[in-house]
Amino acid sequence: MNWKSFFTALALFAATVMSTVQATAAEQPISKPDGKKKPVKVFILAGQSNMEGQGSVDHDDERDSNGGKGNLVWSMKHSKSADKMKKLKNEKGEWVVRDDVLVSFKVGGDKLLKGGLTVGFTGYGADGSRRHMGPELGFGFVLGDFYEEPVLLIKTAWGGHSLHGHFRSPSSGKPAYDTGNWPKPEDVGQSYREMVKEVRAAVAELGGQEYEMAGFYWQQGYNDMVTPKAIPEYAQLLVNLVSDLRKEFNVPNMPVVVGELGNGGPVTEGAMFEFRKAQEEGTKRIKNALFIKTTDFARPPELSPCPTHGHHWFANAESYFLIGDAAGEGMKSMLK
């Protein structure tokens, strides 16, 4: 066999192997393409609805989705970030599914979404829908490209859950004020406890494969921002959350990125302004943590799928992609 024939045969073999890997990604998503098992880099992605993922992938109804403006398909053609998002589809126009980045996200009670990183790992995924995306998409692409080792993203997020109530961690104790009708006093801290439980369950499914708790990405805040009593204590609650989580998993210096509540873009006064200051102040008090500015990623409602949903970035896919991408780059800067 001459060299030309050898390399042609090798290329065909590689293509066959990659097709097999992609077809079995849902069952075997934790090895790099060379087939060797390497320590899995585990990241916890936690928060409320904006971490769940409210970005529209392909909704284009004129009445309910603004004709598709700002969805992911539209954004990949018309947005400022179109070139940056080209990698989300392959040459056939199909959504890329990364077999080196696994996502695990429990939704709809006991429904576990698990598989190679692509669109669709959101709170809407319990019925099999792949029509939404969240910040995990941009975040996972950055970290997947950064590591030779496989990456596991464990999402733990619930819409409307606060840090002063639901995510309140053990060292914060009980709140000194009424957190409202939800959660009930006996359920304060329920989301923190569930987060820990879901993380432990996800790493247990690695079946003994070596792993490292590599980082924590926190994207949350709206329900604290609209609760006046919660804003003054948010910074300390954030410090406590990270401290308790690091102790829980015995990673005292685990890198942390905190995504700013950048909905609506820049503001100079009011509750949103004060809350953002609290977010940044809390992050500064945490060793090995980075505050990620996101206000530049806000897009106008008239160029977004849901012009009335400002609390969800108007469902603008470019916004969600850029938020996750920036958080990933921030995490990467600490990992270097």
Give the pLDDT confidence score for residue 35 in this predicted structure: 59
| Per-residue confidence (pLDDT) for residue 38, from 0 to 100 | 87
**2 found inside a domain:** no
* ω into 183 cis (within 30 of 0): yes
Flag whether 19 is in a domain.
Answer: no
Residue 244: its pLDDT value, please? 98
What single-letter amino acid sits at 134? G
pLDDT band at residue 32 under the 50/70/90 scheme: low
pLDDT in tens, 259-314: 999 999 999 999 999 999 999 999 999 999 999 999 999 999 999 999 999 999 99
> Would you say residue 275 lies in a domain?
yes
Sign of CA dihedral 52, 54, 58, 64: positive
Q: pLDDT higher for 111 or 180?
A: 111
Does residue 191 fall inside a structural domain? Answer: yes
Q: What b/e string do you get for 179-189 counting C-beta neighbours within 10 Å, with b at 16 or more?
A: beeebeeeebb
- Is residue 15 one of the residues assigned to a domain? no
> What does the mean pLDDT of the chain come to?
90
User: Residue 122 sits in which domain range?
Assistant: 32-335
Q: Does residue 5 belong to any structural domain of this protein?
A: no
Instruction: Give the Cβ contact number of residue 254 at 10 Å.
Output: 21
Domain-located, residue 47: yes
For position 239, which CATH number holds?
A: 3.40.50.1110
- Classify residue 214: in a domain, yes or no: yes
Residue 290: strand, helix, or coil: strand
The model's pTM is 0.89
Burial of 329 (0-12, 13-18, 19+ CB in 10 A): middle
Q: Which residue type sits at 220?
A: Q
pLDDT reported for residue 331: 98
pLDDT, tens digit, 9 for 90 and up, residues 211-263: 999 999 999 999 999 999 999 999 999 999 999 999 999 999 999 999 999 99
How many structural domains comprise the chain?
1
Order of strands across the sheet that contains 40-47: 111-117, 98-107, 151-157, 40-47, 211-219, 256-259, 289-292
Which band of pLDDT confidence, cut at 50, 70 and 90, is reported for residue 178?
A: confident
